[in-house]
């Protein structure tokens, strides 16, 4: 997604059997990627992403990745009719999806920071064939002509099997439009389904359990370790909305429950694509690696729907959409309590405050010489504050006493200064003083 750039690529992909289930897949090889979309075809996994000519990677198992050839070795002649000042062969946020026996790849070309953009389409009998056909322009936008930005496309099929296209980035938000299956291009007018003043893009929609789930990347990408990208979601009984988040807030009014934000060395996760994996789901996205100069890097995890039908990285007794009931060893669902921590430091910061509500970020640092694998952080709110929404952790409350525990993907905190972070929104009344003491796995931490 490179324009308020970013990537959405969510495909409702019916992939065949996948690798052995694990909450977060252990990846190796060439993992450099931005705005990835993933497809399992025969015995090969494919990933396409933002970059020169749409870079392609392939893998025999979804874990070990090799860089392949790009889709376009040179620009198509019509691209600069819609984005005359685009970067050289610079193609953004592809979406790869099989429909009616053919692989369709939507993509975008644009001038960074503007809505001088177009969505294009190419297709092939199979990815492995390499026989990509130019299917031309799908829709476009231009300053003064359209309020939306025609980038970040994602092909969706509704409950009846009819195709739709979701698209948009910043500007007036996210839209969905019906697709003519004969041309695979829009028919009728697009419907606006999400908007956010601080940035929303890279949307994709999947259908599960009677609901359409809208995933989107919010805040800012593409700034390396300074990126503030997050993955948020809402759902609706209709593909055209209205979409609301887990708290009931409308996504047209800036709502969206955060699924994943920065944690540990994983900075600014986004550009996500959620796809079927056998009887379950997986999510592929990029993040900026704080341990590698902020390089955009691929991350794949299993995705679940909890007992209330909301997306989660953590399997539970009421969760659905997993093909295995066995979580990874790092999952917070383990019945064994986390081991004690030798020494730790906690930084608690209120990041935003409004009448009756506030947002906060908590950073845990392992200041000891022993790595932490599984953590539980407890504190007491001094003024009766309460958490209403949390990300990168799970929480329980007993009065004002709060316990936050790791999720499956952020259980490990390296020794000697390693850290992880989580955030939450909460309520307050009268005063909002910070907690004065924190215990990590039973050990009292210093505060920063």
Q: For 331-343, write each residue's pLDDT tens digit.
A: 333 334 455 556 8
Looking at residue 341, its pLDDT comes to: 57
300 in Cβ contact with 64 (< 8 Å): no
Structure tokens at 318: 């009421």
| 201 noted as active-site residue | yes
Distance between CA atoms of residues 396 and 255, nearest Å = 23
226 three-state secondary structure: helix
Distance between CA atoms of residues 150 and 271, nearest Å = 16
| 180 noted as active-site residue | no
Q: For 190-205, write each residue's pLDDT tens digit.
A: 999 999 998 999 999 9
347 in Cβ contact with 405 (< 8 Å): no
32 in Cβ contact with 116 (< 8 Å): no
Q: For 80-118, write each residue's pLDDT tens digit.
A: 999 999 999 999 999 999 999 999 999 999 998 899 999
Mean local confidence (pLDDT), 39-47: 95
Of 316 and 140, the one with more pLDDT: 140
Looking at residue 17, its pLDDT comes to: 31
Distance between CA atoms of residues 207 and 301, nearest Å = 19
Looking at residue 11, its pLDDT comes to: 33
Nearest to 108 by CA among 187, 172, 48: 48
Distance between CA atoms of residues 83 and 175, nearest Å = 20
| pTM across the whole model | 0.70
- What is the total residue count of the chain? 448
Bridge partner residues of 378 (DSSP): 403, 439
Looking at residue 163, its pLDDT comes to: 97
Q: Judging by beta carbons within 10 Å of its beta carbon (0-12, 13-18, 19+), is residue 197 exposed, middle or buried?
A: exposed
Looking at residue 211, its pLDDT comes to: 96
Residues 6+ apart with CB under 8 A from 260: 230, 231, 269, 285, 313, 391, 392, 409
Distance between CA atoms of residues 139 and 4, nearest Å = 18
Distance between CA atoms of residues 401 and 426, nearest Å = 14
Grade residue 294 by pLDDT with cuts at 50, 70 and 90: very high
Q: Which domains does the chain have, with CATH numbers?
A: 28-312 (2.115.10.20), 344-447 (2.60.40.290)
Q: What is the mean pLDDT of the chain?
A: 87
- pLDDT exceeds 70 at position 262: yes
Mean local confidence (pLDDT), 401-420: 84
Residues 6+ apart with CB under 8 A from 409: 23, 24, 260, 263, 266, 301, 313, 330
Pairing of strands 37-41, 438-440: unpaired
Distance between CA atoms of residues 166 and 164, nearest Å = 7
Active-site hit among 23, 95, 154, 201: 201
Helix (H) or strand (E) holding 358: strand 357-366
Looking at residue 253, its pLDDT comes to: 94
Map tokens 């359209």 to a residue.
Answer: 146
Q: For 418-440, write each residue's pLDDT tens digit.
A: 888 888 888 999 999 999 999 99
């Amino acid at each position: 997604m490179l324009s308020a750039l970013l990537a959405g690529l969510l495909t409702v992909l019916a992939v065949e059997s996948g690798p052995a289930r694990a909450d977060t897949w252990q990846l190796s090889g060439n993992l450099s990627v931005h705005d990835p979309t993933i497809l399992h075809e025969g015995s090969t996994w494919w990933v396409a992403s933002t970059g020169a000519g749409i870079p392609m990677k392939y893998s025999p198992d979804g874990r070990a990745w090799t860089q392949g050839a790009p889709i376009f070795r040179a620009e198509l002649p019509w691209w600069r009719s819609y984005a005359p000042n685009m970067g050289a062969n610079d193609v953004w946020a592809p979406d790869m999806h099989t429909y009616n026996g053919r692989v369709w790849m939507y993509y975008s070309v644009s001038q960074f920071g503007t809505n001088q953009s177009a969505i294009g389409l190419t297709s092939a009998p199979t990815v492995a064939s390499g026989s990509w056909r130019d299917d031309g322009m799908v829709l476009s936008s231009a300053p003064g002509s359209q309020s939306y930005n025609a980038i970040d496309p994602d092909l969706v099929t509704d409950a009846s099997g009819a195709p739709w296209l979701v698209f948009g980035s910043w500007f007036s938000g996210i839209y969905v439009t019906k697709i003519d299956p004969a041309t695979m291009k829009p028919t009728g007018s697009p419907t606006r389904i999400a908007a956010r003043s601080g940035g929303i893009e890279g949307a994709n929609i999947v259908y599960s359990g009677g609901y359409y789930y809208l995933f989107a990347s919010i805040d800012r990408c593409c700034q390396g370790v300074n990126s503030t990208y997050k993955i948020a979601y809402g759902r609706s009984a209709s593909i055209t909305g209205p979409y609301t988040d887990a708290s009931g807030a409308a996504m047209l009014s800036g709502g969206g429950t955060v699924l994943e934000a920065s944690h540990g060395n994983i900075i600014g996760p986004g550009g996500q694509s959620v796809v079927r994996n056998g009887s379950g789901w997986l999510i592929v996205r990029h993040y900026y690696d704080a341990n590698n100069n902020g390089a955009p890097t691929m991350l794949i995890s299993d995705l679940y729907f909890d007992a209330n039908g909301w997306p989660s990285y953590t399997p539970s007794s009421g969760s659905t959409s997993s093909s295995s009931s066995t979580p990874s060893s790092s999952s917070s669902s383990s019945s064994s309590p986390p081991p004690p921590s030798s020494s730790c430091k906690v930084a608690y910061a209120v990041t935003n405050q409004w009448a009756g509500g506030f947002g906060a970020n908590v950073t845990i640092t392992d200041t000891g010489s022993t790595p932490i694998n599984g953590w539980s952080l407890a504190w007491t709110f001094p003024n009766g504050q309460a958490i209403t929404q949390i990300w990168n952790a799970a929480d329980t409350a007993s009065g004002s006493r709060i316990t936050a525990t790791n999720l499956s993907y952020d259980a490990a905190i390296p020794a000697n200064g390693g850290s992880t972070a989580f955030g939450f929104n909460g309520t307050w009344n009268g005063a909002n003083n910070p907690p004065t003491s924190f215990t990590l796995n039973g050990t009292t931490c210093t505060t920063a």
